[in-house]
Amino acid sequence: MAELPMMPVPVTIKAIVPETPSIRTFYFDPGIPSSPGQFVMVWVPEYDEIPMALSSEHSITVQEVGDATAALFRLNVGDRLGMRGPLGNGFTVSGKTLAIGGGVGVAPLLNLTTAGKVSTFLLGARTRDEILFAPVIASSCNLHIATDDGTEGHHGFVTDLMDGIDLDEFDHICVCGPEIMMVKVLERLKRAGIADRGQFSLHRYMKCGLGICGSCSMDPHGLRVCRDGPIFTGDDILESEFGKYTRDATGRKVYFPSARPEGEIKEEKTET
C-alpha cells in the first residue's frame, strides 16, 4: 500500500462557483488525482482541518454548516488551502450502475457520473433551488429528480423514485446523502435481497484521516470510516451504528431522532 500523505499540500483557489444558496464549488490547483468517492482533509488556515469529498480532481463542493466551512466561504480566488489526500477508498463499479444522491451528497457521485459509469441517477433535494449538478448529470446518464416540496420533478423523497425502477437490473447502487436518506435506501435494498450491491458513502467526525486516532470508528466492529471507507457495502453496515448514531468531537454518541433513547442528544449537522 502506498504511503499515506501526512502533511497538507498547498493549493490555490482558482474559481468559486455558487451552486445553490448554501453550496459552493471551490476549484483549485494543482489537482489531486483520485478515484470517485475518495476524500481529502482540507486545512482552512487559522480554523480547522475537515474532511471533504472531491467532486473532481480539481474541486470540492461544500455546504456551509459550521465555523470551518463558514471560514472557507469567506475565502476568495487566489487564497490558499492545505489538502491531504486522496484518502480512503472509492466506489468500485462495473456493469450497470444506479446512483442515488441527496443534497451535497451528490458531490462524490459526480466523478463517477462524468466518467460514464452511471446508467441512471436518482437526484434528491429539498427544493428546486437546492438541486445540485442536474445539467451535468443529465448529459451523462438517465436522470430522475425528486424534491421534498414538489417544485421540481417528483413531489416527495428521492427514495420514492426507487419504486419506479427495477433494482435487480443494476449490478451496483452507489449512494451518498443525508444518513436518514441512505438508511431508507438500504432498507429497500435489504428487502429486495440485494444489500450487498449497495455502496454507501459514510460521513463521520474525523481527526487524522489516516485510521490512527479512532475518532471515526464505527460500532460494533471498529470499522474506520477514513481508512476502511468512506465507501461501505450495504451488507457490511447492516448491523452497525449506521442510521442510529454518530459521535461528536468528544466521542459522545449523537443519536438520529428516530433512534434516540430518552435523555440522549440528537443528531446535529457536522462538517464531515
**Residue ranges of the binding site for [2Fe-2S] cluster:** 208, 213, 216, 226
**Alpha-carbon 25 to chain mean position:** 14
Binding-site residues from annotation: 208, 213, 216, 226
- Residues 147 and 122 sit within 8 Å (Cβ to Cβ): no
Closest by Cα among 96, 115, 95, 134 to 37: 115
In this structure, the strands spanning 198-201 and 142-147 are unpaired
The secondary structure of 56-110, three-state, reads ECCEEEEECCCHHHHHHHCCCCCCEEEEEEEECCCCCCCCCEEEEEEHHHHHHHH
Cα–Cα distance between 9 and 4 in angstroms, integer?
13
Amino acid at 52: M
For 255, phi then psi, to 5°, come to -85, 145
Residue owning grid cell 427495477: 166
Query: Can you tell me whether residue 167 is helix, strand or coil?
Result: helix
Closest by Cα among 61, 57, 77, 58 to 69: 61
Cα–Cα distance between 153 and 145 in angstroms, integer?
5
- Residues 261 and 255 sit within 8 Å (Cβ to Cβ): yes
